[in-house]
Amino acid sequence: MRPVLLSGGSGTRLWPLSREAYPKQFLPLVGEQTMLQATWERVGPLSGQAPIVVANESHRFLVAEQLRQVGAPVPRILLEPVGRNTAPAIAVAAMQALADGDDPLLLVLPSDHVVANVDAFRAAVREASPAAAGGALVTFGIVPTMPETGFGYIEADGAANGVRHVKRFVEKPDSATAQRYLDAGGYYWNSGMFLFRASRVLEELARFRPDVVAACRSAFDSAKRDGDFVRLEADAFAACPSDSIDYAVMERTDAAMVLPVDIGWNDVGSWSALWDVTERDAQGNAHHGDVIAVDSRNSYAYATKLVALVGVDDLVVVDTDDAVLVARKDKVQQVKDVVAQLKAAQRTQVALHREVHRPWGSYDSVDVGDGFQVKRIKVKPGASLSLQSHAHRAEHWIVVRGVARVTRNDDVYDLRANESTYIPIGAKHRLENPGTQMLELIEVQSGAYLGEDDIVRYDDVYGRTGNGA
Amino acid sequence: MRPVLLSGGSGTRLWPLSREAYPKQFLPLVGEQTMLQATWERVGPLSGQAPIVVANESHRFLVAEQLRQVGAPVPRILLEPVGRNTAPAIAVAAMQALADGDDPLLLVLPSDHVVANVDAFRAAVREASPAAAGGALVTFGIVPTMPETGFGYIEADGAANGVRHVKRFVEKPDSATAQRYLDAGGYYWNSGMFLFRASRVLEELARFRPDVVAACRSAFDSAKRDGDFVRLEADAFAACPSDSIDYAVMERTDAAMVLPVDIGWNDVGSWSALWDVTERDAQGNAHHGDVIAVDSRNSYAYATKLVALVGVDDLVVVDTDDAVLVARKDKVQQVKDVVAQLKAAQRTQVALHREVHRPWGSYDSVDVGDGFQVKRIKVKPGASLSLQSHAHRAEHWIVVRGVARVTRNDDVYDLRANESTYIPIGAKHRLENPGTQMLELIEVQSGAYLGEDDIVRYDDVYGRTGNGA
């Protein structure tokens, strides 16, 4: 059995914590691990095989780094130049599995869901395996606990226990219909988790959507292999129709089966869902960080600095370095309207956090003024920024932790904590961390233009070239 | 007529915008001027005389600087080592007025109230003047617009127009009583604004509270004159009983009169009161700064970065550099409970903003890490920090605007934008701005201990010595 982790989401329903460049699956929203890491840990012991991850090209270093941190076997990371929904993502994952010389069962999992009962989840996977091995396309249906209108439902054929044939898939119901489903039994939430053989899902997809398979085949066969990364060929993948595996295959195939599961599942699809899965105090408050609450109930607060709540009920307050959200818990679906407004205005808060992650570490713009900017820069042990120059800004670097190896034109020298240097406008320079601990330094930029695009790269160990951050 | 501006408040009801070291009267809460400045502008044209300001010792530079900015005549600033309520404050102001060689009418005004109708205010002062000149102690009573339970009331004697004798002062009523006052007419809100002759208020205070007058006389006669500042003698003033002018004099004297006024008065005593006096949009929202509101009504939001509101009604959201408040508008009185908790925990957010003001300018701690701190420092033209040294930290300075004159041990040199220097541990150093524009620099501190109290002062143009910030 081979895990397939779908990490293509750039969800903004948890904005401002989730941003396009660093979305939900990479955040430790519940517990200390990120959701991607928790997804791997849930499935790793079942399989022993390296996961296949399908991710957005811009998230490649996050995926690799986060899975490395939890000791996962080196994954195959299939990089989508654009998102095309789950049918193409699963198709290329299946092609990769077959290309690796085997025809394993694929355990397909979104990488941004919570499963509270991991034992029950693993037991369900084992229970579904014989059917999948026999050629069925098994989906895991969540036993509903309330008349939820935010999910699609799967109606099972017959009331027996265990893996059953699917009678039909139904769209998100209205609340009366959802109540009827709950009362009737035999209806399950569509969780987006699947178990099927690689060849079988490709076979069925080819029956119903040969165009999808053809486009994926072309993108996969022309992919560039680059270390762990498999870069799907951009034009072919972009030409692939966008479709979900549900529409493309599961709703049409006779091989669809469902295993009802009760595993403490939550898709964490909104701030109120996150409140649902977070431990709460006697007043119903779920608080993260430095929060003082007076006369307040049933609220979720995420604080990066001091947040004080006074007399508020059923509220979501999320404080980040560059944006604060305050929303009524029953109106959090409208967070998407805020994100849409920000996107229309080309505000940075849609895509980036103030702290921006790079393959070599991160930078955080801690102060900005007219003609200057102050950044805190972290460089991982052994990492190196590109050899670069700037046309419009000079930089002062003050090391506050670790060792910096500085290249400035023809000179190379090391700086330790409390030492500084100066990079004039136009100087070719490089920053490296030759040490074994994190390097931290303060950079003061000075110049008429301070945009990230004022950079010429001469050499980059991460394969990035030319202009642009 | 001489204005007396009472600026002793260190109100925290508008926390986190108002802090002990920089309270409400020094903030531009309504309009572009601070409340102290607006108070002066309201009264300046009536008088032509330099104001007497009674203020907390720690606010002396704020008072002087803010009044200088609006072109007020050089004020007398009486500095209270501790607050003792309005009776002692007015007593020392009256002593100062008499010591200046005259016996003027004193127009006593809190420096943190809003008066929307300045013309009506000035007309009222003129109307009250003959009575005050004749020996009456005139208070301005606000014609009530609703059955407010948060203020004391003044009952006038008789229903005639104009200045009338006071029948009685009444404490904050319950809501039924307040409604009765409103229906009956002849009851006015006690605004804390007065007009009386300096000698008359001292005479009446001496009749009822000779102990207050004696303590104030001692503190005033032994005061240290220091430029514009009159530093009341600390032990004598501390020994003075604390009392309001209402209790001490107005409720007891036969000379109390009231002039009912309708001047758009608001004491801005809470966030909801601030919402009341702030211009609002069609949805009833009053927003300051970068605020996006979706499906939200009747809210007040103050943003120092992006603040997004989703589906919220009747909410107060105040975002500052180091604290965020989210409060229901009808519960804002409980903000004091938050402040009390913070005070008990000795949190800096009670006393200081992240940007700390000093007589020479300000500093703002933009980033803090283990063993280092980054500050943005602003030095006013012509200003100078003390000659100082630090036992535990080194400092890197990078000038980003203006000119810095640096003294480092025996060397003195100037730095311009994009130039830097290094101050080793223990070096005697001074920073000055010899230029005509604001000097801004980035300071990176590095060391095992970075507290503000690691400072030895050798020389200070502002009379500050020894250790301490």
- Residue B285 and residue B405 in one domain: no
Strand partners, A260: A141
- Residue B252 and residue B276 in one domain: no
How much is the pLDDT for B461? Answer: 83
How much is the pLDDT for B469? Answer: 43
Q: Of A36, A40, A197, A3, whose CA–CA distance to A118 is shortest?
A: A40
What mean pLDDT do residues B324-341 have? 96
Please give the structure tokens belonging to residue B420. 């830097």
User: Beta strands B361-369 and B372-379: pairing type?
Assistant: antiparallel
Determine whether A118 is exposed, middle or buried from the number of CB atoms within 10 Å of its CB (0-12, 13-18, 19+): middle
Domain with residue B429: its CATH number is 2.60.120.10
> CA–CA separation, B108 vs B125, rounded Å?
11
Do B311 and A317 count as a contact with CB atoms less than 8 A apart?
no
Distance from CA of A431 to the nearest CA of B (A): 19
- ipTM for the complex shown: 0.92
Give every strand in the sheet of B387-389, ordered side by side: B411-415, B404-408, B429-432, B387-389, B456-459
Do A440 and B338 count as a contact with CB atoms less than 8 A apart?
no
- Residue A292 and residue A362 in one domain: no
Residues found in chain B: 469
Per CB-CB distance under 8 Å, the chain A contacts of B328 are 310-312
Nearest chain A residue to B339, by CA: A308
Q: Is the pLDDT of residue B159 over 70?
A: no
- Residue B362 and residue B323 in one domain: no
Per CB-CB distance under 8 Å, the chain A contacts of B372 are 400-401, 440, 442
> Mutate which of A306, A401, A416, A423 to disrupt the B interface (most B C-beta within 10 Å)?
A306
Domain that holds residue A235: 2-266
> CA–CA separation, B469 vs B462, rounded Å?
12
- Residue A144 and residue A283 in one domain: no
Per CB-CB distance under 8 Å, the chain B contacts of A440 are 369, 372
**Other C-beta atoms lying within 10 Å of the C-beta of residue B218:** 17
Give the A:B interface size as CB pairs under 8 Å. Answer: 192
What mean pLDDT do residues B311-316 have? 97
Per CB-CB distance under 8 Å, the chain A contacts of B309 are 326-327
Per CB-CB distance under 8 Å, the chain B contacts of A338 are 292, 294, 308, 310
Q: Which among B312, B325, B394 has the least Cβ separation from residue A310?
A: B325
List Cα–Cα distances, B35 to B42, B107, B266, in angstroms.
Answer: 10, 17, 12
Does A56 reside within a domain?
Answer: yes
Does A348 reside within a domain?
Answer: no
Do A327 and B305 count as a contact with CB atoms less than 8 A apart?
no
Q: Which among A324, A326, A422 has the least Cβ separation from residue B420?
A: A422
Do A310 and B326 count as a contact with CB atoms less than 8 A apart?
yes
Does A81 reside within a domain?
Answer: yes
Domain count, chain A: 3
Strand partners, B440: B378, B401
Per CB-CB distance under 8 Å, the chain B contacts of A352 are none
- Residue A336 and residue A249 in one domain: no
Does A46 reside within a domain?
Answer: yes
- Residue B375 and residue B337 in one domain: no
Does B468 reside within a domain?
Answer: no
The distance from CA A432 to its chain's CA centroid, rounded to whole angstroms, is 28
**Other C-beta atoms lying within 10 Å of the C-beta of residue B411:** 10
Nearest chain A residue to B327, by CA: A310
Which residues, including other chains, have CB under 8 Å from residue A469's CB and lie 6 or more apart?
A: A356, A452, A453, A455
Asked whether B445 and B427 are in contact (CB, 8 A), the reply is no
- Residue A385 and residue A422 in one domain: yes
Do A324 and B305 count as a contact with CB atoms less than 8 A apart?
yes
Q: Is the pLDDT of residue B228 over 90?
A: no
Question: What's the CA dihedral at B222, B227, B230, B231 to 10 degrees?
Answer: -70
Nearest chain A residue to B317, by CA: A326
- Residue B78 and residue B145 in one domain: yes
- Residue A320 and residue A431 in one domain: no
Does B464 reside within a domain?
Answer: no
Mark out the alpha helices in A100-158 (DSSP H runs). Answer: 118-133
> CA–CA separation, A130 vs B110, rounded Å?
82
Instruction: Name the amino acid, one letter, at A424.
Output: P
Q: Is the pLDDT of residue B465 over 70?
A: no
Does B455 reside within a domain?
Answer: yes
> Mutate which of B291, B378, B442 to disrupt the A interface (most A C-beta within 10 Å)?
B442
Nearest chain A residue to B369, by CA: A400
Does B469 reside within a domain?
Answer: no
- Residue B50 and residue B139 in one domain: yes
How much is the pLDDT for A156? Answer: 95
Please give the structure tokens belonging to residue A358. 């790079």
List Cα–Cα distances, A278 to A196, A320, B421, in angstroms.
Answer: 32, 19, 49
Kindly calculate the radius of gyration of chain B based on its CA atoms and give it in whole angstroms: 24
> CA–CA separation, B380 vs A368, rounded Å?
19
How much is the pLDDT for A461? Answer: 83
Q: Of B148, B166, B146, B147, whose CA–CA distance to B156 is shortest?
A: B166
> CA–CA separation, A460 vs A246, rounded Å?
41
The per-residue b/e assignment along B28-39, b for 16 or more CB within 10 angstroms, e otherwise, is ebbeebbbbbbb
- Residue B262 and residue B277 in one domain: no
Do A324 and B324 count as a contact with CB atoms less than 8 A apart?
yes
Q: Which of A316, A343, A370 is the last residue of a domain?
A: A343
What mean pLDDT do residues B287-298 have? 96
Mark out the alpha helices in A348-396 (DSSP H runs). Answer: none
User: Quick one: what percent of chain B has pLDDT higher than 90?
Assistant: 92
Q: Which of A236, A266, A296 is the last residue of a domain?
A: A266
B398-446 pLDDT tens trace: 999 999 999 999 999 999 999 999 999 999 999 999 999 999 999 999 9
Q: Which of B318, B343, B368 is the last residue of a domain?
A: B343
Q: Of B330, B337, B326, whose CA–CA distance to B314 is shortest?
A: B330
Do B322 and A305 count as a contact with CB atoms less than 8 A apart?
yes
Which residues, including other chains, have CB under 8 Å from residue A358's CB and lie 6 or more apart?
A: A61, A385
Instruction: Name the amino acid, one letter, at B459.
Output: D
Domain with residue A221: its CATH number is 3.90.550.10
Beta strands (DSSP E) in B128-266 are 137-142, 153-156, 164-170, 187-197, 224-226, 229-231, 256-261, 265-266
What mean pLDDT do residues B300-314 have? 97
Do B332 and A310 count as a contact with CB atoms less than 8 A apart?
yes
Q: Which among B310, B401, B440 has the least Cβ separation from residue A331?
A: B310
Nearest chain A residue to B371, by CA: A400
pLDDT along chain A (469 residues), means of 10: 93 92 94 96 92 95 94 96 96 97 96 96 97 98 94 88 92 95 94 97 98 98 93 97 96 96 95 94 96 97 97 97 97 95 94 92 94 96 96 96 97 96 96 97 94 90 63
